[in-house]
């Protein structure tokens, strides 16, 4: 009997798998690559919601933990996936500068917003009012993370590319079985695929479609993450990842002309250099109406658990949420009530 079956190997599934492995637990991960929102995500971690100048929920705790977590994964996989880069917000007016200084005085934001206006000159960007710098930021190369982690699991016989068939799952009081496999617990981390899960599909997981571009801009010498109406992230060889759009109605992975046009218009607001589109991606983020993740155990079946609803900030949320769920299962450590799925049971 193994300790954990994990369904899904996006950022939620990988985070839980890594926590379990660190604690010497046996695992088997199922993923048929049907969900791609984690793979194409920007991978940014940024503790501030710049649109509203507010702190990301539990940002301090999440940043502290990811600075421990990702180096451990890098050590396991022998790859570099975590890149510390400043996030710069381009100012379009003196009023925006003033709003930045007001926000930087807030107690919960003072550790994250620099009070120095940056006047770095980047070719390809007209910036007469300078930039504000967000601290403790960076990005995770999500595609490399998923490919490398999946390869590691395959090499150690901890991975199945089989499409998980919920009808084959048998639940006993102290374990679950799936074919010939027995496990003490099962973790469902399917992202937007949750809607096919008969045990947790009553939860209000919405989906927010996002589209991204890879552009080539040889005259743009950007060594930071530019974040304004869109983010522009340098990924090497004059290539930049640009995103993202937000569509609450379309729940498909299909790229759209409307999404591309929206991104192009926003890029042109920020850059004054030529660029070309190299690739265009789309995926559905697993978002929740109350903007909090879905973490916890099934009300009736205590060995069925969920780790989902990471939304647009998966690389920040995933590691600390996985640790919280693991500690809850193994040590009965209470979950934060804002993430615990019990909040919806009460409402029902």
User: Both 272 and 303 in a single domain?
Assistant: no
Instruction: Select from 240, 271, 287 the last residue of a domain.
Output: 287
User: Both 213 and 280 in a single domain?
Assistant: yes
User: Both 249 and 336 in a single domain?
Assistant: no
Whether the pLDDT of residue 347 is over 90: the answer is no
**What pLDDT, on the 0 to 100 scale, is given for residue 120?**
85
Average pLDDT for 29-37: 79
3 state DSSP class of 104: helix
pLDDT, mean over the chain: 94
CB 321 within 8 A of CB 15: yes
Write phi, then psi, for 291 (nearest 5 degrees). 65, 25
Average pLDDT for 3-32: 97
User: Both 128 and 15 in a single domain?
Assistant: no
Helix, strand, coil % in the chain, rounded to nearest 5: 30, 30, 40
User: Both 118 and 26 in a single domain?
Assistant: no
User: Both 211 and 111 in a single domain?
Assistant: yes
**What pLDDT, on the 0 to 100 scale, is given for residue 36?**
61
CATH label of the domain that carries residue 211 = 3.30.9.10
User: Both 240 and 129 in a single domain?
Assistant: yes
Tokens representing 326?
């693991």
CB 294 within 8 A of CB 203: yes
**What pLDDT, on the 0 to 100 scale, is given for residue 73?**
97
Residue 182, C-beta contacts closer than 8 angstroms, at least 6 positions apart = 1, 2, 175, 176
Whether the pLDDT of residue 95 is over 80: the answer is yes
User: Both 219 and 320 in a single domain?
Assistant: no
Q: Which helix (H) or strand (E) holds 178?
A: strand 176-178
Instruction: Select from 287, 307, 329 the last residue of a domain.
Output: 287
Does residue 132 belong to any structural domain of this protein? Answer: yes
Give the residue from 180, 159, 210 showing the smallest Cα distance to 38: 210
User: Both 152 and 186 in a single domain?
Assistant: yes
**What pLDDT, on the 0 to 100 scale, is given for residue 33?**
79
CB 35 within 8 A of CB 12: no
**What pLDDT, on the 0 to 100 scale, is given for residue 37?**
63
Give me the percent of the chain exceeding a pLDDT of 70: 97
User: Both 125 and 147 in a single domain?
Assistant: no
Strand partners, 282: 211
Q: What is the pLDDT of residues 217-231, one digit of tens each?
A: 999 999 999 998 899
Average pLDDT for 77-93: 96
User: Both 33 and 148 in a single domain?
Assistant: yes
Provide the number of structural domains found in the chain: 2
Structural domain of residue 180, as residue ranges? 2-65+142-205+290-347
């Amino acid at each position: 009997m193994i300790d954990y079956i994990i369904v899904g190997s996006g950022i939620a599934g990988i985070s839980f798998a890594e926590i379990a492995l660190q604690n010497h637990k046996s695992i088997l991960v199922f993923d048929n690559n049907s969900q791609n929102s984690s793979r194409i995500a920007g991978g940014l971690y940024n503790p501030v919601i710049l649109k509203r100048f507010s702190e990301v929920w539990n940002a301090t705790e999440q940043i502290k933990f990811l600075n421990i977590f990702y180096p451990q994964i890098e050590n396991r996989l022998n790859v570099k996936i975590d890149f510390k880069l400043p996030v710069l917000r381009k100012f379009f007016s003196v009023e925006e500068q003033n709003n930045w200084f007001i926000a930087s005085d807030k107690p919960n934001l003072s550790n994250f917003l620099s009070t120095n206006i940056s006047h770095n000159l980047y070719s390809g960007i007209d910036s007469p009012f300078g930039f504000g710098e967000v601290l403790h930021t960076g990005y995770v190369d999500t595609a490399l993370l998923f490919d490398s982690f999946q390869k590691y699991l395959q090499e150690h016989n901890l991975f199945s590319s089989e499409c998980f068939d919920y009808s084959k799952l048998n639940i006993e009081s102290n374990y679950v079985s799936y074919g010939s496999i027995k496990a003490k617990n099962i973790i469902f981390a399917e992202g937007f695929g949750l809607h096919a899960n008969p045990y947790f599909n009553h939860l209000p997981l919405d989906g927010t479609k996002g589209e991204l571009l890879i552009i080539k801009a040889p005259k743009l010498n950007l060594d930071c993450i530019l974040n304004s109406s869109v983010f522009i992230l340098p990924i090497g060889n004059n290539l930049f990842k640009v995103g993202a759009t937000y569509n609450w109605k379309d729940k498909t992975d299909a790229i759209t002309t409307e999404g591309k046009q929206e991104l192009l218009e926003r890029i042109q607001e920020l850059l004054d250099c030529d660029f070309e589109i190299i690739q265009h991606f789309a995926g559905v983020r697993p978002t929740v109406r109350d903007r909090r993740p879905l973490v916890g155990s099934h009300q009736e079946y205590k060995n069925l658990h969920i780790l989902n609803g990471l939304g647009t900030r998966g690389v920040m949320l995933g590691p600390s949420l996985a640790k919280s769920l693991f500690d809850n299962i193994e040590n009965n450590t209470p979950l934060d009530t804002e993430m615990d799925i019990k909040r919806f049971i009460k409402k029902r």
